[in-house]
Structure 1
Amino acid sequence: MNKAVFLDRDGVINHDHAYVSKIEDFEFIDGVFDACQQFIKQGFMIIVVTNQSGIGRGYYTEQDFNVLTDWMKSEFNKHQIPITEVYFCPHHPKKALPEYLKECDCRKPMPGMLNQAIKRFDIDVSQSIMVGDKISDLQAAQAAGIKTKILVKSGKAVTDEGKAIADEVWQSLSIR
């Protein structure tokens, strides 16, 4: 079995400037590459799981997302950090174009994206980690059985409820 670090994107990998969809708007959080290199050295795969309701709302397209994702992965590769996979959910239950308007099991806090990765890559949840900046990230990890849930302060405001679910609270992915 494999072990993985699941990373939310906006607020964990990059600064969350609301619906980031262009390379010129994508700003890596300081230290993210160093932190991920350490995870790789410890034998973890890196898997990104990100809600992308901006697609569903029509702010940008899946193609726009894929272009940005390919660029982001190439930036990680420049630092010898392979991203095993990027899973995204374009849906929203209330605010979306008709083809994306739905309740789904992939939108965090539901565990669908995590469960897909766990099954596909034979991941041992007891040795795996979820790093997120919102309670929904931690709830998804909890529902998928991920052992360690880390809440970072580099994205959304940290709530008491988030702290209660988190195993650890860090300033950012790079600062423990």
Structure 2
Amino acid sequence: MRKAVFLDKDGTLVHDVPYNVDPQRIRLCEGVPEALARLKAEGYLLVMISNQAGVARGYFEEQALEGVKETLQRALQPYKAGLDAFYYCPHHPEGIVPVYTQACACRKPQPGMLLQAAKDLGIDLAASWMIGDILHDVEAGNKAGCRTILIDNGNETEWVMNPDREPTHVVKAFKEVVSCILQEAKQTAK
């Protein structure tokens, strides 16, 4: 079994531009490439887990997400920090595109994308992490059996708490993620 770091996209890896699929507007957040390179060097798979309700809402076609994936891979490649997999949920119960307008098990805070990635890639969820900027990310990771890190960068506005929404760690910036993960890995190895 392999270990992974599951990564939210908008507001976590890239600056949050709502419903953006324009490669010209995709910008990595500060410290992300270096942190991902370090995690990859430590043997973690890097797996994108992203809600993409813009598909269900009719803002863009599902195939536009392929360009997003390619843009991220190009940006991360010089750091040897490319994503190992890219999972997204195109659904939303209030969508306007009938095939995508539904409640589903993959849309965060549900753990469906993480569970599917674990099955597809042979990932040990208990040895893995979910990183995100809102409590829906934390909840999905906790429900899947991962440890979780909330990047408290101001994007979480509701702060509705319950046991599923309690992160393992809270940090202010992505660059702090690596030390949390590696410190816990060291303690677990003892």
Percent identity for Structure 1 against Structure 2: 33
Q: Secondary structure at the match of 1:142?
A: helix
- Cα distance, 1:175 vs. partner? 3.0
Matches within 5 A, 1:43-58: 43-58=43-58
Conservation of the 8 A alpha-carbon contact between 2:21 and 2:68: yes
Could you tell me which residue of structure 2 aligns to residue 135 of structure 1? 135
Tell me, in whole angstroms, the C-alpha distance in 1 between the residues paired with 2:89 and 2:33: 24
Moved over 2 A (4+): 157-164
Could you tell me which residue of structure 2 aligns to residue 167 of structure 1? 168
TM-score (norm: length of structure 2):
0.86
Aligned AA for 1:110? Q
Q: Secondary structure at the match of 2:49?
A: strand
Tell me, in whole angstroms, the C-alpha distance in 2 between the residues paired with 1:58 and 1:155: 27
Cα distance change, pair 106–124 in 1 and its aligned pair in 2 (3 A): same
TM-score (norm: length of structure 1):
0.93
Tell me, in whole angstroms, the C-alpha distance in 1 between the residues paired with 2:44 and 2:96: 35
Query: Structure 2 unaligned runs (5+)?
Result: 178-190
For this pair of structures, how many residues does the alignment match?
Answer: 175
CA RMSD of aligned residues (A): 1.7
Matches within 5 A, 1:3-152: 3-146=3-146, 148-152=147-151
Q: Secondary structure at the match of 1:27?
A: coil
Could you tell me which residue of structure 2 aligns to residue 156 of structure 1? 155
